[in-house]
Amino acid sequence: MLVANPALSPADVNQLVTCSADSVGTAPDGSPIQRLNVGKAVQMAVNQQTACGVIPTVGTVTVAATLDGQALSSPTSPAIRYGLVCPFRSLLGTLPSSPSANIPTGPCTLTYQGGAPPNSTFLGIAECGVSNPPSASCIQNLLPNQTLPFTIQFKSAQVLAGTAVIQAIYGGQPWSGSVNYLLSGPSGQINGTSTGPVANLSPGTYVITFLSGGPPNSTFVDVSPSSPQNLQPWGTLVFTLRFSALPMSDDFNGSSINLAKWNVVISPSGVGTIAEINQRLEMLHTAAAVNAYQGLQSRCKISGDFDVQVDFTLLNWPSQNFHTLRFAAMDLPQGPVGLVGIYRNSYNSEGYQMRAINGVVNDIIISDTSGKLRLVRVGSTVSGYYWNGAQFVLLASSPTTTVDTGFALDFSSPLITSPTNVKVAFDNFKVNSGTVSVCQ
């Protein structure tokens, strides 16, 4: 029996490392009664280790494991290993294990050291909560005569499954549709064919590779945010495929019209021809018709302010041939006499016209057989220019809207009596400034 010095509190006694013992008598059970004093070493064996001063109280510690919330009662391969450290006692174990009794009270630390059920992931120790990333250690306080549980948690791969969301942006706006990509990671290589979620993915690192497809007449830019990305258990990650519209400018130096940039329109059918030849775009009126029309209409549109231009040449252009060569903004609100744009006419006289929402804004007489035409929009004003051989000259300006617009390079005649074999050419269509928004 131990009797503490009245000058020491029980906490003082429990913290003694060296103690003195003086015999003061015999207890009824025959054991010596000793008085403890700091200074001389008296040690006692307690649970295979030594303590000084007082025998500690004890409790029981249990260690178990769960998979998807269900208790594991059989050994796993590899075995689940742990370490337990409590006051005056430390041990290593594998699961399943029996309760550890006679553990001195105080703070106990359980550390998960490895092993898991097949196709599962360690989540953490339940009594200390699940964290991300999971913590392999948990500290709890063992009280006298208490049974203190530690529960090592695992989740199967299916339960842990997360989701990758594949989305796309085109011209700064969300887009959805067919796109081919390869998603690679712990779940293998997944060949995707459209935007949207990819579910039931195992946690880990994923990388996406763009293969083909996307918005019509677009160019793939990059993936944002940059891959690879790490998918957490039950988590969601997002890959954004970014696309931009095709460049609209065209020098017509090829051997055929770029149908990704242009729609070719000839009406009525057979009234004429359009060809990319001689490093330019040539249009020939071959058959008489009412309202004969030949033109290229851009598949892409420009938003906001813009500055665009094109060269032209009148290759076979008799006087008073009743044909019009035109450079027009197709989607701006038009007036009573046609699309907004610059017209090179051959009627009773030769000349340029600027037509807009209020009709003919300006009309000048001029006999140029080649030159440049230019359209500029700033805010809600559209302006037309022609080239005088040295510089662009303002033909007229007019109110308009800020709607996205495409452009037309065309050639037409309203009269069936107009001569045939009239021939023109366009060249060097340029977008000097402007944002290409969408392409059809």
pLDDT score of 237: 93
Do 222 and 291 have their domain in common?
A: no
Domain count across the chain: 4
pLDDT score of 158: 66
pLDDT score of 6: 34
Task: Give the model confidence (pLDDT) of 157-175 as tens digits.
Answer: 666 678 999 999 986 789 9
- Give residue 41's domain range: 2-51
Beta bridge partners of 244: 219
149: in domain: yes
128: in domain: yes
Do 207 and 297 have their domain in common?
A: no
Do 392 and 403 have their domain in common?
A: yes
Do 377 and 415 have their domain in common?
A: yes
Do 86 and 116 have their domain in common?
A: yes
251: in domain: no
Do 295 and 417 have their domain in common?
A: yes
Model confidence at 324: pLDDT above 90: yes
26: in domain: yes
Radius of gyration of the chain (CA): 43
More confident residue, 35 or 250: 250
Do 34 and 154 have their domain in common?
A: no
Do 202 and 138 have their domain in common?
A: no
Read off the pLDDT of each residue in 163-192 and give the average, rounded to a whole number: 90
250: in domain: no
Whichever domain contains 122, its CATH number is 2.60.40.10
Do 134 and 190 have their domain in common?
A: no
Q: Which of 158, 185, 208 is the last residue of a domain?
A: 158
Read off the pLDDT of each residue in 176-201 and give the average, rounded to a whole number: 91
Q: Which of 136, 158, 180 is the last residue of a domain?
A: 158
Whichever domain contains 301, its CATH number is 2.60.120.200
256: in domain: no
Q: Which residues of 263-292 are buried (b: 16+ CB within 10 A; e: fewer)?
A: eeebeeeebbebbbeeebbbbbbbeebeeb
257: in domain: no
Instruction: Give the span between the Cα atoms of 244 and 246, in whole angstroms.
Output: 7
β-strand 58-67 against 70-71: which pairing, if any? antiparallel
Read off the pLDDT of each residue in 66-74 and give the average, rounded to a whole number: 90
DSSP, residue by residue, 235-247: -EEEEEEEEEEPP
Do 19 and 76 have their domain in common?
A: no
Do 87 and 110 have their domain in common?
A: yes
Instruction: Give the span between the Cα atoms of 34 and 41, in whole angstroms.
Output: 13
Task: Give the model confidence (pLDDT) of 101-113 as tens digits.
Answer: 999 999 999 999 9
Q: Which of 218, 245, 272 is the last residue of a domain?
A: 245
255: in domain: no
**Quick one: 42 exposed, middle or buried, by C-beta within 10 A (0-12, 13-18, 19+)?**
middle
Do 216 and 278 have their domain in common?
A: no
Read off the pLDDT of each residue in 118-125 and give the average, rounded to a whole number: 88
Beta bridge partners of 85: 90, 109
